[in-house]
Amino acid sequence: MLAKRCCNVSITAIKGFNDILPGEVEKWQHIEASARDVFSRYGFAEIRVPIMEKTELFARSIGDVTDIVEKEMYSFVDKGENRVTLRPEGTAGVIRALIENRLYAADPVSKLFYMGPMFRYERPQKGRYRQFHQIGAEITGIADPKVDAQILTMLRHLFDELGITEPSLEINSLGCPKCRPQYRETLQAFLRNRIASLCPDCTRRFDTNPLRVLDCKVERCKAATADAPAMLENLCPPCAGHFEAVQEFLQLAGTAYRINRRMVRGLDYYTRTTFELVTGLLGSQSAVAAGGRYDGLVADLGGPAIPGIGFAMGVERISLLLEAAGFSKPADLFIVALGDAAGKKAFQLMCRIQRLGFAVELDYDGKSMKSQMRRADKLACRYTLIVGETELATNRAPLKEMATGSQTEVPLVPESIVLQLQR
């Protein structure tokens, strides 16, 4: 028998890769526009870097023995036998671009932001996807702790602007190449006696990346490390001084924070200040934004020895928080028209009010008043304007604010209607 060459099974998207549909997209646009607005006030310029880079860029920057590089990268060999990877994060590409284009030569301080898709082969769940989107910001060229406080203040500012105030800012310090190796040994000595209680992943991490044991979500690892020594108590004097100063400047800026001594990050490039903006509303995917200082990264990638600090936030997670906060982007006005002549007037008003900068909707099919009102409700329009024969004759019509039910009579003149919409 001949094999069937086609079937009716439809092709779906790849697991963990999502369509961002109308309704959802408005939230994304709001997040992106707010980020652009806030970042520009802090002097950041946008950079757009490729979605795919040479695999070694990520191995060298994020670290060979991190979960991202070991297990999660979408890497393949292309037709030219090059080993390439879909970017799992944005910092490595931005710093590669900074070095390759010698941006530091024109100005020793770079403030760059980016937005776009990232790819990690993780187990998908709410708030965790294989293609996800980040908005990130990076400052290079300033080692001063004021800049740590500034970037954290900017992050908080953005969330305030979005009306998302619930997440809390947690900070820690991961020290520097002088004090961290010593701490690593102290931690390993502590863990050595408890190795039998650790999960298989952490048993492996004991040798390769013992700090990550502190970050393990498995209950028995949490219990075994409850009283583990922390990096914070093992900082060298310059790192301890830096951390103190960051806190002083955060207080001066009025930016609330709390110290999380157990925070370690899943990327190896961090030095000194690290931070996460953490929510209680998204289950285990609690970090909505995260970042830290990476004073050795530019040099590690072949550039000059200049310090850096930055963060990235997860757009999908912020969008979930916006939804929980009741975000909606309603049209400003629905014009209900009764009869042909009113339909023409409504059409003319709509075209002119849209040009004045407002979102206006109407019914195109000459439906009943009840059905038009239902549509206005469905679109959650802020106002409705009802135009019938009487309104055409008097050139005035009732404008109703849907949230309060209050009604005002307005002349059927675009500028007069707009004056009310602006209130």
Residues that bind ligand HAM (CB under 6 A): 89-91, 120, 122, 127-129, 132, 134, 136, 138, 266-267, 287-292, 310-314, 316-317
Q: How near is the Cβ of 96 to ligand HAM at its closest, in Å?
A: 13
**Cβ contacts of 239 within 8 Å, gap of 6 or more:** 173, 175, 176, 178, 179, 272
Q: How near is the Cβ of 272 to ligand HAM at its closest, in Å?
A: 12
Q: How near is the Cβ of 11 to ligand HAM at its closest, in Å?
A: 23
Q: How near is the Cβ of 82 to ligand HAM at its closest, in Å?
A: 23
Nearer to ligand HAM, 132 or 358 (CB): 132
Nearer to ligand HAM, 63 or 127 (CB): 127
Structure tokens at 222: 């949490």
Q: How near is the Cβ of 174 to ligand HAM at its closest, in Å?
A: 12
Nearer to ligand HAM, 30 or 317 (CB): 317
Nearer to ligand HAM, 122 or 401 (CB): 122
Q: How near is the Cβ of 385 to ligand HAM at its closest, in Å?
A: 42
Q: In the bound complex, which residue of the shown chain has the CB atom lying closest to ligand HAM?
A: 314
**Cβ contacts of 170 within 8 Å, gap of 6 or more:** 257, 258, 259, 260, 263, 275, 276, 277, 278
For residues 138 and 95, the answer to whether their CB atoms sit within 8 Å is yes
What three-state secondary structure class fits 28? Answer: helix
Nearer to ligand HAM, 288 or 385 (CB): 288
Cβ neighbours around 358 below 10 Å, total: 18
For residue 422, what is the enclosing H or E element?
Answer: none
Structure tokens at 64: 């060979």
Q: Crossing angle for the helix pair 414-421 and 340-355, nearest 10 degrees?
A: 60
Residue closest to 120 by CA, chosen among 310, 298, 316: 316
Nearer to ligand HAM, 90 or 343 (CB): 90
Nearer to ligand HAM, 170 or 316 (CB): 316
Cα separation, 185 vs 135, in Å, equals 36
For residue 24, which amino acid is it?
A: E
Interstrand relation of 168-173 and 74-77 (parallel, antiparallel or unpaired):
unpaired
Q: How near is the Cβ of 107 to ligand HAM at its closest, in Å?
A: 19
